[in-house]
A and B are shown apart, each in its own frame.
Chain A
């Protein structure tokens, strides 16, 4: 699941859910949009 919004007067999204990714080699950090709650649906009935 993920959620994003379009800032006023904009045309592109901004995400509410971000994470910091670090480059293993240089240690540089960057912000990335991501999702949360990577659940799995187990057996069951879906209607």
Chain B
């Protein structure tokens, strides 16, 4: 690999390697491993590399990080994914392969406004719109854990962008303001002035407020049950059998 002439010697560079050891002929598994190495060509200290979400967070649900795509390729960490799944990578059908956009859309799937309106969603012609996701789609903290120690864990609520927010809200046109309260946005510079991290109210414009999971709302008073009567509670009777 030869870098293009004039490459930025002051920029942080990352080399990634991934590999497998195929032991299936011995009735064993494919062992997978990957690793990244950060450096600056001029010898200075690398800047913070992308670390919004740690691999261990995905592993809560995807224990071996083996996905339908790249299965058995040795790509098993988020640090590896983001090297290729960057904002300049696209599927030929126009779907962004950027890690945030792609991950959001895959887990939103059937709830994407475009899919609700009848459009298809997938990559390389494969349908990803019917995946069954196991968590609440408003619950950002499922992936954006603040306790896993990711250096940029707060970016999901401090770096609102048209790409990241628009990936789930795909009926919003920031160019025209359609489905955005008629407020066109030509850059990402103003988002945080209205979409603050947390506002005064739940379900407000703030990023936490807007994504309040209804069942976790602090406004829920809690449900109280009162036992009004017990049927068939006499000795020798079975209170579970409902007398019709």
Whether A associates with B in a native complex is yes
Instruction: Please determine whether A6 and B12 come into contact, CB atoms closer than 8 angstroms.
Output: yes
Q: Whole-angstrom distance from the CB of A12 to the nearest CB of chain B?
A: 5
Interface on chain A toward B: helix, strand, loop, or mixed SS? loop
Chain A residues contacting B3 (CB-CB under 8 Å) are 3, 16
Instruction: Please determine whether A6 and B88 come into contact, CB atoms closer than 8 angstroms.
Output: no
Chain A residues contacting B233 (CB-CB under 8 Å) are none
Given contacts A5-B12, A6-B12, contact A12 B92 (CB under 8 A): no
Given contacts A13-B82, A25-B125, A35-B84, contact A1 B15 (CB under 8 A): yes
Instruction: Please determine whether B13 and A5 come into contact, CB atoms closer than 8 angstroms.
Output: yes
Instruction: Please determine whether B7 and A17 come into contact, CB atoms closer than 8 angstroms.
Output: no
| Chain A residues engaging chain B, CB cutoff 8 angstroms | 1-8, 11-18, 21-26, 28-37, 41
Chain B residues contacting A30 (CB-CB under 8 Å) are 89-92, 94
In the assembly, what is the distance between CA of A23 and CA of B50, in Å? 30
Instruction: Please determine whether B83 and A15 come into contact, CB atoms closer than 8 angstroms.
Output: yes
Given contacts A1-B15, A1-B16, A6-B11, contact A11 B152 (CB under 8 A): yes
| Chain B residues engaging chain A, CB cutoff 8 angstroms | 1, 3-4, 7-8, 10-19, 47-50, 82-94, 97-98, 125, 152, 155
Chain B residues contacting A32 (CB-CB under 8 Å) are 84, 89-91, 97
Name, among A2, A7, A16, A26, the residue most crowded by chain B CB atoms within 10 Å (CB to CB): A2
Q: Whole-angstrom distance from the CB of A16 to the nearest CB of chain B?
A: 6
Instruction: Please determine whether A5 and B86 come into contact, CB atoms closer than 8 angstroms.
Output: no
In the complex, the chain A residue whose C-beta lies closest to that of B96 is: A30
Chain A residues contacting B49 (CB-CB under 8 Å) are 6
Chain B residues contacting A2 (CB-CB under 8 Å) are 15-17, 83-84
Chain B residues contacting A15 (CB-CB under 8 Å) are 83-84, 86, 88-89
